[in-house]
């Protein structure tokens, strides 16, 4: 076994060549995941709410977006943004941004469906009661429907966010300097320790995802406190 090779390159796995060079490794993966989660949440929220609109011209863009994305592999999407961005924008997008946009657009579609289902699963009486006191549709959404629905959605969100975190490894294919890329680079250079290297990065991915799930479990508990106290 060559665990010394893993050990010697451990800081490279964690943050790449940083601070002398660009940020890479696990730090870049986490950054990609964090920005991706942030973007996908807002995009998905918008898509889900548009999907719920009574106005057909608001619904249609959201339906088209969700249906197309759900039928396309993420890898294909990453290639699209990588190879089509120069055609459309006239210049190349940096790899990191390409991967980020692909992850956001991909995960946003699934979040959109979660949002739709979550809002629809609340009792109709909640909206009626809110509207019945004179709140506008938007106010009822912001103060009554979404605070309850979003809490119910947390487990589904976490599934998506964990998937997204793992999916950041696909960014390797267009050369984004993240954890999988760091592992491949070190493996190509050292040759003799693929098992040790890939076990190590698997563990690193696991730790990140585990932290994410347990943090969300705590958050869910905190947000459900009004139910726990029920008679």
Partner 1 sequence: MPVIEVNKLNKWYGDFHVLKDINQTVEKGEVLVICGPSGSGKSTFIRCVNRLEEYQKGEVLFNGQDIQAKSVNVNQLRADIGIVFQQFNLYPHLTVLKNITLAPLKVKKTPRNQAEENGLALLERVGIHDQAHKYPAELSGGQQQRVAIARALAMRPQVMLFDEPTSALDPEMINEVLNVMKDLAREGMTMLCVTHEMGFAREVADRVIFMDSGIIVEEAPPDVFFNNPKHDRTKAFLKEIL
* Residue ranges in contact with partner 1 by CB under 8 A: 123, 125-126, 128-136, 139, 143-144, 147-148, 151, 226-227, 229-231
Q: Which residue's CB is nearer to partner 1, number 139 or number 195?
A: 139
Q: Which is nearer to partner 1, 50 or 130 (CB)?
A: 130
Task: Write down the least CB distance from residue 126 to partner 1, Å.
Answer: 6
What are the Cα distances from residue 120, in Å, to 39, 113, 145, 221? 23, 11, 10, 22
113 neighbors 48 (Cβ within 8 angstroms) = yes
> How far apart, in Å, are the Cα atoms of 108 and each of 70, 184, 226?
10, 29, 29
Q: Which is nearer to partner 1, 71 or 125 (CB)?
A: 125
The distance of closest approach from Cβ of residue 221 to partner 1 in the complex, given in angstroms and rounded to an integer, is 14
Residue linked to tokens 């793992």: 166
Looking up tokens 């680079």, which residue turns up?
185
Nearer to partner 1, 71 or 123 (CB): 123
Closest to 100 in 3D by CA, of 133, 134, 77, 123: 77
Least distance CB 54 / partner 1 (angstroms):
12
Q: Which is nearer to partner 1, 4 or 128 (CB)?
A: 128
Strand partners, 16: 23
Least gap, CB of 143 to partner 1 (angstroms): 6
Smallest separation, CB 136 to partner 1 (Å): 5
Instruction: Report how far residue 96's alpha carbon sits from residue 186's, in angstroms, rounded to the nearest whole number.
Output: 20
């Amino acid at each position: 076994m060559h665990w010394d090779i893993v050990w010697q390159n451990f800081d490279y796995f964690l943050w790449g060549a940083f601070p002398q060079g660009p940020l890479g490794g696990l730090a870049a993966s986490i950054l990609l995941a964090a920005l991706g989660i942030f973007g996908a949440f807002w995009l998905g929220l918008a898509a889900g709410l548009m999907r719920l609109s009574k106005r057909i011209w608001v619904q249609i863009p959201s339906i088209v977006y969700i249906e197309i994305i759900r039928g396309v592999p993420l890898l294909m999407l990453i290639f699209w943004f990588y190879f089509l961005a120069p055609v459309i924008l006239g210049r190349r997008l940096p790899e990191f941004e390409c991967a980020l946009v692909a992850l956001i657009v991909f995960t946003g579609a699934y979040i959109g469906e979660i949002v739709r289902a979550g809002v629809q699963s609340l009792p109709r009486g909640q909206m009626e009661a809110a509207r019945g006191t004179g709140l506008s549709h938007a106010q009822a959404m912001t103060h009554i429907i979404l605070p309850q629905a979003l809490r119910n959605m947390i487990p589904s969100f976490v599934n998506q966010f964990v998937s997204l975190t793992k999916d950041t490894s696909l960014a390797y294919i267009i050369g984004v300097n993240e954890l999988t890329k760091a592992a491949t680079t070190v493996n190509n250079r050292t040759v003799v320790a693929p098992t040790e290297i890939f076990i190590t990065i698997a563990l690193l991915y696991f730790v990140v995802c585990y932290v994410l799930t347990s943090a969300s479990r705590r958050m869910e508990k905190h947000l459900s406190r009004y139910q726990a106290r029920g008679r």
